[in-house]
């Protein structure tokens, strides 16, 4: 069965209309997803801003503890550093 020029043009028009509908639908969904993501980022920023000083104190406390442990166990610290570097090297080599 042969397709006429008019039938092809009708099919192209139908495809264009369907593409326009899909584009509008995706645009609406993308906009809604962006607004949701923007709201989540704003909430997270507020949470971090509220808890920032507390988190910073805890990080400093943990850093001091790590420093003391490294100072008390220099050989173990060097060995741990070597293991970490080997793991990083192995991960980078996988690419």
The per-residue pLDDT for range 27-66, each reduced to its tens digit, is 777 777 778 878 888 888 888 788 888 888 888 999 899 8
Q: Which residues of 13-50 are buried (b: 16+ CB within 10 A; e: fewer)?
A: eeeeeeeeeeeeeeeeeeeeeeeeeeeeeeeeeeeeee
Q: What is the pLDDT of residue 95?
A: 61
5 token code pair: 């020029």
Q: Are 70 and 77 a contacting pair, CB within 8 Å?
A: yes
């Amino acid at each position: 069965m042969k397709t006429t020029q008019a039938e092809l043009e009708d099919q192209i028009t139908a495809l264009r209309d369907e593409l326009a509908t899909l584009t509008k639908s995706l645009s609406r969904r993308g906009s809604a997803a962006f607004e949701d993501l923007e709201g989540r980022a704003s909430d997270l920023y507020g949470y971090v801003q509220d808890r920032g000083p507390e988190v910073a104190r805890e990080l400093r406390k943990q850093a001091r503890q790590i420093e003391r442990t490294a100072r008390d166990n220099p050989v173990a610290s060097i060995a741990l550093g070597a293991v970490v570097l080997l793991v990083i090297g192995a991960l980078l080599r996988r690419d």
